């Protein structure tokens, strides 16, 4: 009995490329990372700048009261706890010695006034500062 003839197999196709992201979506390289912001005034320009920069990158920011961080307990245990909760900590308006001690007590990056470069007078200057904060966050957390 004769064997049936089959047509030759088509050549292999290259793997399909994933679809391009929609133009209105943004990259969020820090999605899923929580950041702690230790400051007395959550509405201060530097605090808003840090929050905006981090949230634009996809991070969540929790504002922490400095009185709760620095008072009533050993800074070592507080630092270890903060290191478990947050990927990085931004300190604004704290004494440099306190920031240094917190940095030594926690395993995550601790910034001392990263976004506190002063009040901005123009939109372009604020945008430049926002990008500088974002670059520092990405460098520390990648």
Element (H, E) at 117: none
Of residues 115 and 6, the one with the higher pLDDT is: 115
For residue 118, name the pLDDT band (cuts at 50, 70, 90). low
Structure tokens belonging to residue 38? 């230790």
Percentages helix, strand, coil for the chain (3-state, rounded to 5) are 40, 10, 50
Structure tokens belonging to residue 111? 């910034």
Annotate 34-52 with three-state secondary structure. EEEEECCCCCCHHHHHHHH
pLDDT, one tens digit per residue, over 45-104 is 999 999 999 999 999 999 999 988 876 668 888 899 999 999 999 999 999 999 999 999
Element (H, E) at 115: none
């Amino acid at each position: 009995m004769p064997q049936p003839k089959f047509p030759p197999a088509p050549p292999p196709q290259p793997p399909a490329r994933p679809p391009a992201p929609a133009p209105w979506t943004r990259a969020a390289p820090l999605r899923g990372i929580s950041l702690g912001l230790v400051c007395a005034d959550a509405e201060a320009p530097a605090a808003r700048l840090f929050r905006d920069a981090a949230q634009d990158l996809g991070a969540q920011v929790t504002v922490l009261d400095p009185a709760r961080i620095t008072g009533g307990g050993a800074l070592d245990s507080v630092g270890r706890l903060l290191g478990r909760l947050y990927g990085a900590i931004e300190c604004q308006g704290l004494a440099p010695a306190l920031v240094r001690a917190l940095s030594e007590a926690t395993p995550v990056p601790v910034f001392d006034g990263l976004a506190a470069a002063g009040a901005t007078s123009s939109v372009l200057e604020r945008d430049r500062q926002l990008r500088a904060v974002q670059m520092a966050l990405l460098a520390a957390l990648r």
